[in-house]
A = this chain, B = another copy of it.
């Protein structure tokens, strides 16, 4: 279990077993049932979550009540309301559980302590954030340059596993279209083959 976290870290920085032990001290493991809301707008996000099992998502709800999914968090991923977590201002997003999950919880203040005790983590999270940034930059450009169908194709190549285990309305929301349009698009797409 704990291995998934350290496997992940090991992809970018090499920790000693002593350093791993320190990190372990600050990680709390927890399980949540589907539909549990971990963060909602107005909260202060004191925690970041590392997913061991299950699926979470982060999203906003607009004035018309439509949800817009920013990210799916699957095993091996971190998730929180970055804005709130980093600035300690009010959250703007929901984080909730889509499939029963096990997570590690890290408190904001503990992360700051860990940065001091295990400086390598500074690098680890830098690299993690860099990769996340690249992905988000690409997503901004994709939303501007590609059609819904192209975004769908791209998504299904990038996350072939997610596509079959989630209600498709969530995929529509991630892609940036309505469930109705997504349905029509998909049937047109399949008819072509």
Contacts and interface: CB of A to CB of B under 8 A. Distances in A.
A130 to B, nearest CB: 5
B145 A62 contact: yes
A179 interface: no
A62 B147 CA distance: 11
A22 B107 CA distance: 34
A60 to B, nearest CB: 5
A62 to B, nearest CB: 4
A186 interface: no
A10 interface: no
Number of copies: 2
A56 B53 CA distance: 43
Contacts of A133: 82, 129, 132-133, 136
A190 interface: no
Interface stretch (A25-33, A96-104, A118-126, A154-162): A118-126
A137 B68 CA distance: 12
B176 A137 contact: no
A126 B134 CA distance: 14
A119 B62 CA distance: 41
A126 B137 contact: no
Interface string A142-157: 0111100000000000
A109 B49 CA distance: 33
Contact of A140 (B129, B134, B143): B143
26 contacts: A60-B141, A60-B145, A68-B141, A70-B140, A70-B141, A82-B130, A82-B133, A82-B137, A83-B137, A83-B138, A86-B130, A86-B134, A119-B119, A122-B122, A122-B123, A126-B129, A129-B129, A129-B130, A132-B133, A136-B136, A136-B137, A136-B139, A136-B140, A139-B140, A140-B143, A143-B176
